[in-house]
């Protein structure tokens, strides 16, 4: 990379919906989008697998994940921090 290029690291926030895998959590990321024709605000979601090295995340936690190099076939995100623990 040259001096003028800046690497942009994507990060998303979501809720852990599954922690049954070893060192991997499934994170549900929701976002609000306005429908182009109707104008109604709709909720779109997707589930991403994220790497959790210490197995610290539990189901229901709110976490921040950042994009990284591919770790496995479906896992290219890593848990950067746990924002809020589940009750």
Query: What domains are defined for the chain?
Result: 11-84 (2.40.50.140)
User: Up-side HSE of residue 69: CA atoms within 13 Å toward CB?
Assistant: 0
pLDDT of res. 57: 95
Q: 11 by DSSP, 3-state: which?
A: strand
List the end-to-end C-alpha distance of the chain, in Å, as a whole number. Answer: 44
pLDDT of res. 1: 64
pLDDT of res. 18: 97
Summarised one tens digit per residue, pLDDT across range 21-80 is 999 999 999 999 999 999 999 999 999 999 999 999 999 999 999 999 999 999 999 999
User: Which of 2-11, 33-42, 77-86 comes out lowest in average pLDDT?
Assistant: 2-11
Name the pTM for this structure: 0.86
């Amino acid at each position: 990379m040259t001096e003028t290029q800046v690497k942009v690291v994507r990060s998303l926030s979501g809720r852990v919906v599954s922690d049954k895998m070893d060192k991997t959590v499934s994170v549900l990321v929701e976002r609000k989008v306005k429908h182009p024709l109707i104008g109604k605000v709709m909720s779109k979601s997707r589930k991403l697998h994220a790497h959790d090295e210490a197995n610290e995340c539990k189901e229901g936690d709110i976490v921040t994940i950042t994009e990284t190099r591919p770790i496995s076939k479906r896992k290219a995100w890593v848990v950067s921090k746990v924002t809020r623990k589940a009750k």
